[in-house]
């Protein structure tokens, strides 16, 4: 994608996976309106965390107008972005899509589950440059939304001025530190961070067992150059992610071995 030269006149579409009423999406609206006046919101009606890149195809979807340029979709983040681009804004495609700000980080393997990243991925597939934003926080403490709000506009302006390839989305994670204490912006790769290592089995009042997937994660926290290490050190992490999942080296090896 070429650089976005005129952000002031850019049409920006916003979505998320925490729902239309989430605090993070209101923060992202402030970020977007600090850049452009042509801001639209099309987001899920309710929270869709960990929905991944899922699409609703077995029932109809409803779009509810919340207010001027704000719409709620009773589906997934992918549904919201698809309808936002091809239905709500069908007269003119957005120039930029922003997803988030997610309540909690999307680092390492989290991105494969994340509805926040999936919303940006859907826009990328539809040809719209996209950035996903997430705010890391520690359990028991409120998210530092002011950190995202302070650093968000600068990151958008700088990344948009550079541009990035079609089929690539930008994944941004803000650290859990006051905005004045952020240790800069760093370009990173994905680390390793897997949810679901802890399964909690319990019994309901009828004696039937059920299982909660816990939040415990196995993390590589000290590997330099990764998104996890940067955010835990207090930096803003910026990671380019590919929609194309093909592994070229293995593809070449298979082509030779199967020839």
Share of the chain above pLDDT 70, in %: 96
Is 177 exposed, middle or buried, given 0-12, 13-18 or 19+ CB atoms closer than 10 A?
middle
Arithmetic mean of pLDDT, 126-133: 97
Please indicate if the annotation marks 176 as binding a ligand: no
Over the chain, what is the mean pLDDT? 94
Packing angle of the helix pair 145-162, 23-33 (nearest 10 deg) = 40
Contact indicator for 42, 82 with CB cutoff of 8 Å: no
DSSP 181: G
pLDDT of 222 strictly over 90: no
Rounded percentage of the chain residues whose pLDDT exceeds 90: 85
- Contact between 131 and 101 under an 8 Å Cβ cutoff? The reply is no
What is the C-alpha to C-alpha distance for residues 143 and 100, in angstroms, rounded to an integer? 13
Strand 130-135's sheet: what is its strand order?
A: 63-67, 70-73, 38-44, 11-15, 96-103, 130-135, 168-174, 236-242, 185-187
Q: Centre a 10 Å sphere on the Cβ of residue 113 and count the other Cβ atoms it contains.
A: 19
pTM, two decimals, is 0.93
User: Does 102 appear as a known binding residue?
Assistant: yes
pLDDT at 186 over 90: yes
The whole-number pLDDT of residue 221 equals 75
pLDDT for the residue numbered 87: 97
Q: Which domains does the chain have, with CATH numbers?
A: 7-192+220-257 (3.40.1210.10)
Confidence of residue 213 (pLDDT cuts 50, 70, 90): confident
Per-residue model confidence (pLDDT) at position 5:
78
15 is in an annotated binding site: no
If you average pLDDT over residues 82-91, what whole number do you get? Answer: 96
The arithmetic mean of pLDDT across residues 193-199, rounded, is 72
When pLDDT is cut at 50, 70 and 90, the band that residue 200 belongs to is: confident
Confidence of residue 134 (pLDDT cuts 50, 70, 90): very high
pLDDT of 86 = 97
Is residue 54's pLDDT more than 80? yes
Annotated binding-site residue? 49: yes
State residue 118's pLDDT score.
Answer: 97
pLDDT bin (cut points 50, 70, 90) of residue 259 is confident
């Amino acid at each position: 994608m070429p650089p976005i030269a005129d952000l002031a006149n850019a049409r920006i579409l916003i979505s998320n996976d925490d729902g239309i009423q989430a605090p993070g999406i209101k923060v992202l609206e402030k970020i977007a309106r600090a850049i452009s006046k042509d801001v639209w919101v099309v987001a899920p009606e309710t929270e869709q965390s960990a929905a991944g890149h899922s699409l609703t195809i077995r029932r109809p979807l409803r779009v509810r107008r919340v207010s001027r340029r704000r719409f709620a979709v009773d589906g997934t983040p992918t549904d919201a972005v698809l309808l936002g681009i091809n239905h709500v804004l069908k007269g003119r495609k957005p120039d930029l899509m922003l997803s988030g700000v997610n309540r909690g980080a999307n680092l390492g393997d989290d991105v494969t589950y994340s509805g926040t990243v999936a919303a940006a991925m859907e826009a990328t597939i539809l040809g719209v440059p996209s950035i996903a934003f997430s705010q890391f926080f520690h359990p028991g403490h409120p998210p530092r939304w002011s950190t995202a709000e302070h650093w968000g506009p600068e990151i958008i302006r700088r990344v948009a001025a550079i541009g990035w390839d079609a089929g690539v989305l930008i994944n941004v994670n803000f650290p859990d530190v006051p905005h004045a204490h952020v240790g800069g912006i760093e370009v990173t790769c994905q680390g390793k961070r897997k949810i679901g290592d802890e399964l909690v089995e319990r019994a309901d009042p009828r004696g039937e067992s059920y299982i909660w997937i816990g939040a415990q994660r196995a993390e590589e926290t000290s590997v330099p150059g990764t998104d996890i290490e940067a955010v835990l050190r207090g930096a803003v992490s910026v990671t380019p992610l590919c929609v194309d999942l093909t592994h070229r080296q293995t593809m070449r090896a298979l082509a030779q071995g199967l020839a």
